[in-house]
Structure 1
C-alpha cells in the first residue's frame, strides 16, 4: 500500500496560461525511503520519477553480497517492484540513469540490464561515480510514463 501526499504543481507555460497537475509522493510499505529524506517515487501527471535504487533487499540498509551482477539484479528487481506497486512495468520506463562505482563493470551491468528491459530500450545515461551510498556498486534511477 502507498502513502500518498497530494499537492498541486503549477506549471506556467509560454504566455499567461497556467495548468495544474496532481503530484503524488509515493513510498511502498516497508520502503527505506519512508525513513530517509526522499520519496521512493513521485508522480507528476502521467510521469513517474523513481529515486535512485540500490541493490538492497527491501527494508535493509546494506547491499546484497555478490558484487556488480548480484547488485544489478537486485537493483533492477527493486525498480520493477516499485513500478508494479503503481501498476506499471519495465515497459513503461522511458529513461534510466545508471551510476557505477567502477565504469569497467559497465559490460557486466549491461548483461543484467538486457534481462530486465527489451528493445526498444529506454533512453539511458551511464557514468562512474565515486562513493555511492552504502558502498554500492550500482545505483539506477528511472523515469516512467503512464500510458493512457
Structure 2
C-alpha cells in the first residue's frame, strides 16, 4: 500500500513476501519492507517533520507468536546520511501481545522528510502476518511540533530483493 492515508502526513509503502521453504536447519521467514517518504504521485505536502513512527503488524488469523523463540529475527534500516534525516534511527520491537508485533522507529533528533530521501526498514519475521497494519506517526507539517497521527496500511504481496 502506498499512502497518503488521509490521517497520515507521510507516504508509506508496505510490501510483504511470504515465507518460503527453507533449507534444512534454517527458519523460513516472512519478509516485510516498509518504505517511508517515497511519493511517486506527488500527493504529500513537504516538508514533514517526524519524531517517531510505529508500525503494528498483526499476526495472521489463527497464528500466534511463539514464546520460545524471537518473533523478529532480523531487521535492517536503510537511510542515506544527510542533514535533517534524523541522524541515527533506532528500531524497537515489542512482542508482548501474541497477536501484534510492534516496531517503533525513533530518530535521535526529529527528521524532516522533504521528498528527496526515503527511510526503508526491511525485516524477517517467523510469524505469519495478517494483511492490515496500523501506522502511528508523530509528525507535523513544516517546522511545527509533531503530533500523533494514526492510519492503516495494507501489506502488498511482492517479491523482495535479497
Greater helix percent: which structure?
1
Q: TM-score, normalised by structure 1?
A: 0.38
Instruction: State the structure with bigger RCO (CA 8 A, min sep 6), 1 or 2.
Output: 2
Q: TM-score, normalised by structure 2?
A: 0.36
